[in-house]
Amino acid sequence: MQIHPLISDLRLALKNRPRIVLVPTMGNLHAGHIALMTQARAHGDTVVASIFVNRLQFGPSDDFERYPRTFQDDCDKLAAAGVDLLFAPNEAELYPEPQEYYIEPPQIQHQLDGEFRPGHFRGVATVVLKLFNIVQPQVALFGKKDYQQLLVLRNMTRQMALPIAIVGGETVRADDGLALSSRNAYLSATERAEAPRLQHVLQRICSAVRAGEREFAQLEREAAAELDQHGWKTDYVAIRRQADLQPPRHPAEQSLVVLAASRLGAARLIDNVEINAGSGR
């Protein structure tokens, strides 16, 4: 695997490479990231991963300084997964001057996760567009665990007429159902044993909706209350349409998703489950 910290060197290495697939990451890789790398191979000939902890998407109260950085271990995992090139710039390389031009997503950036992390999706969209311009992939992969991020980036790519196919990778989970996340490392042993509850309450909402329950607001309130009763501090539990993450317009809507974000100790965990109501899926 080639490792390139410089934009100019990466562009030279990618010159005349066949169909390029990009998997952007912030490092501290786990099995969910590696699953995306493996999936990427099916979509092209040249797999490029990136590692960059993007300051622009962190708020003042976020964990930028303590975000886990495990570069050598990440390189070993990527090489074992068959990644061809790794782009690993530092801040001076990616932002050689103060970033004054931003991608401003529409209103969805202020809802759900955006309500609690102002400016987050603006920072994500800006760095991803920059990575797209540098790598010029034909395909890019992002995990479905960050469901709102996937929607924002997919819509940005379409509206900016970028010749890039956006592929969503399924969430990879531990045996007890907890979605794999770099921030799981913040959990104590007691908190780690409690953490699967987030997935369990979302699955119960799915089962209720599939069984015909349509009091969505009540389901959301009950789920948040259960989490908070067990020591969580819940930002939101929300049933939304998969297409645009807006509230369902009518009770009979079928392609829904339930999303949640809640803090457990020092870790803010997010998760989601797609609901195809009435389909039995």
Cite the active site residues: 33
- Burial grade of 183 (CB within 10 A; 0-12, 13-18, 19 or more): middle
Secondary structure of residue 161 in the 3-state scheme: coil
- Residue labelled with tokens 């955006």: 114
Do 227 and 196 touch, CB atoms closer than 8 A?
Answer: no
Chain-centroid distance of CA 79 in Å reads 22
95 — phi, psi (to 5°)? Answer: -125, 75
Q: What DSSP designation does 171 have?
A: P
For residues 189 and 199, give the distance between their C-alpha atoms in angstroms, rounded to a whole number.
18
- Burial grade of 182 (CB within 10 A; 0-12, 13-18, 19 or more): buried
Residue at 141: amino acid letter: L
- Least Cα distance to 88 among 34, 24, 151 occurs for 24
Kindly write down the DSSP assignment for every residue of 224-256, as one continuous string: HHHHHHTT-EEEEEEEEETTT-PPPSSTT--EE
Handedness of CA 205, 207, 208, 210 (dihedral sign): positive
- To the nearest 10°, report the CA torsion of 75, 77, 80, 82: -70
